[in-house]
């Protein structure tokens, strides 16, 4: 009786265990697969191109500029979805007078006297020759003599040239001052090959001790050289001791190109 009573329970347990094993086996295979499919954090193997693409997207997002300030949705236009002009101005940061900076200077403060250097350009030989006027020749003599091409120097030199030759033919014999130094004419009626040579010879003659008063006055560049010229032995008549010297402005005339190129 005892054996017969326990036999069905044994079969019952073994059947339940088998069914349990079948359920366990089914759960171990299909149940585990279903959980892996539903897991959103499951790792997958990706290739190098996909990894680089993901990395590049992250870098772009990290360096992207910040979004503009949020504006009121009512300020968006119906056509393009952008801000209107008035709304864009209102969207900018506003500052109050309390945030403004001020600078106060004491009434006793004294400013420094700042002196700035002046820059002047002096015409060179080529520029003066290209201009070709009697004023250009006067500046050329100043340049060859190493004297300032100041307005006072050029003005009195033009007057001097007029005393020696008329202004409308000042290039006569390429010797505007009737200079006898190096011209072959002891009385000042010689000639030069061109006006450049005449300017060099004039500057060279004026630097001789005989005409040191004129050279010193030109070197100062402050004007008043008329008296030095009249008092010098350049002209035997001394221009009537200055009575025949005219101070009126001198007209400018351009010399023929052949006078410069000869």
Domain positions in the chain are 132-261
Evaluate if residue 147 carries a pLDDT over 80: yes
Greater confidence, 196 or 13? Answer: 196
Provide the pLDDT for residue 173: 94
Instruction: Please report the sign of the dihedral spanned by the C-alpha atoms of residue 188, residue 190, residue 194, residue 197.
Output: negative
pLDDT digits (tens, 9 = 90+) for 192-230: 999 999 999 999 999 999 999 999 999 999 888 999 999
Residue 53 has pLDDT above 70, yes or no: no
**pLDDT, the chain, mean:** 76
SS3 content of the chain, % helix, strand, coil (to 5): 55, 0, 45
Angle, CA of 100, 105 and 108, to the nearest 5° = 165
- Tell which wins on pLDDT, 181 or 79: 181
pLDDT at 257 over 60: yes
Residue 107: per-residue pLDDT: 81
pLDDT of residue 228: 96
């Amino acid at each position: 009786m005892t054996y017969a009573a326990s036999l069905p329970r044994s079969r019952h347990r073994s059947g339940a265990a088998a069914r349990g094993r079948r359920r366990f086996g089914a759960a171990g295979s299909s149940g585990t697969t279903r959980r892996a499919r539903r897991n959103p954090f499951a790792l997958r193997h990706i290739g190098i191109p996909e990894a680089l693409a993901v990395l590049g997207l992250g870098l772009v997002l990290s360096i992207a500029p910040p979004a503009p300030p949020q504006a009121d949705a009512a300020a968006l236009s119906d056509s393009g979805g952008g801000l209107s002009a008035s709304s864009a101005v209102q969207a900018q940061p506003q500052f109050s007078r309390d945030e403004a900076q001020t600078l106060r200077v004491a009434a006793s403060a004294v400013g420094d006297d700042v002196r700035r250097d002046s820059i002047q350009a002096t015409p060179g030989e080529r520029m003066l020759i290209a201009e070709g006027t009697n004023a250009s020749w006067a500046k050329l003599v100043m340049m060859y003599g190493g004297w300032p091409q100041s307005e006072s120097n050029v003005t009195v030199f033009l007057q001097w040239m007029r005393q020696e030759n008329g202004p409308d033919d000042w290039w006569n014999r390429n010797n505007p001052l009737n200079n006898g130094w190096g011209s072959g004419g002891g009385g000042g009626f010689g000639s030069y090959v061109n006006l450049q040579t005449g300017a060099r010879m004039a500057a060279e003659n004026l630097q001789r001790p005989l005409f040191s008063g004129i050279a010193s006055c030109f070197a100062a560049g402050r004007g008043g050289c008329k008296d030095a010229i009249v008092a010098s032995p350049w002209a035997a008549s001394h221009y009537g001791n200055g009575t025949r010297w005219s101070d009126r402005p001198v007209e400018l005339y351009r010399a023929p190109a052949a006078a410069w190129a000869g």
